[in-house]
Structure 1
């Protein structure tokens, strides 16, 4: 008897076949998304270690200043450009997404150009040893930011393998360039910056080839203007959380000591894999929620499962970090391990809080409830300041870490309350306040 083989598009394929294909596709996207995040984070870590070993203290400081500018601007780009792309266009038709992605990368290119001019101008004004690294960074920023935005575009499109390939290309090119710098004995902050950031421009061009379109600068401005109902809340959220965190750390250094901040940073390094896990999960789950427009009870079920998964993984790595032998801790952090070790459990409390609230936050973000996300995150600012400084006063660095962690727990019940209210409203088909969306998209409460 002949056995009929079903083609992928065969309408006679059963529901189990379709379900298995969807699960495999979902698992594949999750795997390549995690692989991309690992390549990106591991590359940055390895590069920092190489530069730290190759440069004197002053040179590494110059490199670190330039790298900090990059980290700040990529965070801003993800909040103000990539997030509206995910919320508004993850479920768009291929033609609509192509136009939106071209506009988003165009906005990012403009951001890189403007930020590059400002950074280069600062280098000229400041003068001294930092001048040339800042001038170099100003020239590199457009390529660096556009390369990072292509990663967000591919993830939103459901093509994390393309993002992985792009990051691997950048990693290979930058390490080849760094190796050449070291062989030629040209190890300076400026040379290292060029070896790191120059290949990013190549990767950004390759990203355009992978996507099949180039950044659209003119259309980008108009596209960004259509996201203004979201941008106000996203900008305020980014400024308040980032600003409060940095101000709190500066105050801890002023009221306590720089060694207290060093202990906090060292504990965060030990728990760094959890930050990578959180970022990887966010990059993967957020477009999936936006693409499927999950509502009501189903959205809450997904939120609960996401938080449970994050909680299990956080507890597992947290147990490893807390039980880390002194020999391994000292090998990783040197003399800093002695001050970091007592801070790790207190810092872990905050990571557990982030895991518990993770599901609620991604539903709010993925469904476009920008106003609710802003007000939930706004509670972090006073929490960081009051609880962080209060803990420092009572128990030093460990108390500061515990205070910062408790601030993360303050927003957990608020986030879940907002999800419950909004999803109940959607389930009961009650009208919600809507803000105008861009052409071709439905309005969404913001």
Structure 2
């Protein structure tokens, strides 16, 4: 089959490239060791996803070493096990509480991959680890069960309305849907990620987002699940509109959809509002605020807080909000050519994502400060299949793995199901998702 496929391949260049890729993947590579205490869950998500795509053996040691208890938690374990299934790899040390885990990736396989956290642990974080790998199959789906709208993790609506449209710029053809919402402490939510067409044989396109442009539209969605929540939605939406209208030009449309969930579409009780701002150059900014009883915020306060957060993001001169910036970096690293994106303050997640990518892929990031913003440039690897880089990328060397940081954003506290409290052993103050799931100042 291999030789038949090789000789019917249409172009000599492509045939040589395919053969080179197969030989490259067959070569034994040394294991790259990463200190897992440098970034907790983010190291595991980005590290294993990129290692699978690079066909690079990886070992993560000292996993959550400074935390009590240390080691892998259920959500981390589900994520790396899924990646290992997807890349047909060999996994050692993958058990709850393990402080060291290693993976030797092999050939990718297509299929329907299902993960259940068993708690209210974030299934949107699991989608983050799945999507880059699914793109290089011949068409696969991911189904994740757990929390869709929980603290300290990307809300499903913000991923649908903000992140996924931005990824279309890379040529990503994928659909993310919320089958059922899930909240703390019950969980029970479900999301589905479908990749209709893979990117094997054709790399992702580079992007250029350096001109923030002019605000052209604000839209979003406010939902309520639970009998006592529905009556609060109108106050939330009205206050968000009032704050936005007081600061925006009258001709800018504001469209906020009201959604009343049912027991068939939501498990448990929860209320939130997600707002997205779009500019005439295609930039998108998102802001979400959950209604958390422990914060004692009224529904109107939640609407106002989401609007204020959105306005701050739009007015900062960047092209994406601070919570999306690190999520774009993997795709910039995989793309063929140089990508550029203008961001505001560099988050700890962004810095760690750059270090992780450069230690596992022969990509090259450059940071160029310009006033209150920074332009992140990346020379991507032009991935056409797992382990297959462009000729230019093959000439680059890998950077050292990330070292332990004194402060970093981490989501290890999500392992208890996304409980609304500060993370244990929190470091210094930094920009993070504030209590109640809203975006704002939180402990890093």
* Same fold per superposition (TM over 0.5): no
Q: Which has the larger radius of gyration?
A: 1
User: Normalized per residue, which structure has more strand?
Assistant: 2
Normalised TM-score (structure 2):
0.28
Q: Greater share of helix residues, 1 or 2? A: 1
Question: Given the two structures, how large is their TM-score scaled by the length of structure 1?
Answer: 0.28
